[in-house]
Structure 1
Amino acid sequence: MPTILLVDNDPEILAALSAALEWRGYRVLLSKDGRSGLEQAGRNLPDLIVTDCSMPEMDGVELCRCLKLYPALTAIPVIMVSAQVQLRQKPALWDAFFLKPVDFNAMESTVGQLLFSRPLRETLRPLWSDRAMSRWQPVTSAIIS
């Protein structure tokens, strides 16, 4: 059963998305902000992350940047959700974008596609000249910015 981490500071949105995904057979983990979401991702290595863009402390964009710094977390696909118009996306920070209110059928289709493509994506490791010594050591170059 695939595990999906939901990161949002709105408990009602967490509850709605959680119920919809659990009903479809996914295991769901919840986090109330980007910082706790990053910690949860490191502890549980979810198969997919769905994050809100606007949150206090660490927003969704910063969460995506941090995920890309850790080799163990970089291959986890991310869906960004926002009440704002499409953000200026930095290349490869997230895999899909949805405006709120989220169309659950479209999200379910995207979740399935991202989970299905993940094993292939994990075998295609990028060739960076400054690889981290360990999969938990952050990458120190400016490859993300």
Structure 2
Amino acid sequence: MPTILVVDDMPDNRQLLGIMLQRSGYTTEMARDGVEALEAIQKSQPDLVLLDLNLPRMDGWTVCRTVKASPHLAHIPIVALTASCSPGEVKQLMTPDWTDYVSKPFDVMSLMEKVKLWLAGSNQSKPWYS
């Protein structure tokens, strides 16, 4: 059973995502900020990370760069969760470090379909933004 780390500083968002993912058969872990996220990623090496960009203590950008710089963690897919996805922010996400991004508020059914694709690795053949 794949493990998904949900990283969001808003308890309601973590709870909603956790319930959705668990009902779909995934194991979930939760983190409230970037420091907790990095610790959880290093400890358990989840199969997928849903990572809010605007976090206390360490932002999602820094978490992603740190994970992707580590040879034993770089394979973990990381999906940015963002409430404000301006064209400039989307352009910054167009790097091989990010698996994809999801704008908040998100459509539950669409997000769950994407989770299946991300875990299947179907995004590995070409970047999401191509």
Fold shared by both chains (TM-score > 0.5): yes
Alignment of 1:1-145 (within 5 A): 1-86=1-86, 87=89, 88-89=92-93, 91-117=95-121
Residue-by-residue CA offset, 1:109-130 (whole Å, 9 max, x unaligned):
1111111117x95xx9xxxxxx
What displacement does 1:93 show?
2.1
Q: Which amino acid aligns with 2:105?
A: P
What displacement does 1:41 show?
0.7
CA RMSD of aligned residues (A): 1.8
Alignment: residue pair count = 121
Q: Which amino acid aligns with 1:45?
A: Q
| Matched-pair contact (CA < 8 Å) for 2:38–2:67 | yes
TM-score of the two chains, using structure 1 as the length reference = 0.78
Cα distance in 1 for partners of 2:32, 2:80 equals 15
Which consecutive residues of structure 2, in runs of 5 or more, have no partner in the other structure?
126-130
After the TM superposition, which segments of 4 or more aligned residues of structure 1 sit over 3 Å from their partners?
none
Which consecutive residues of structure 1, in runs of 5 or more, have no partner in the other structure?
125-145
| Matched-pair contact (CA < 8 Å) for 2:5–2:48 | yes
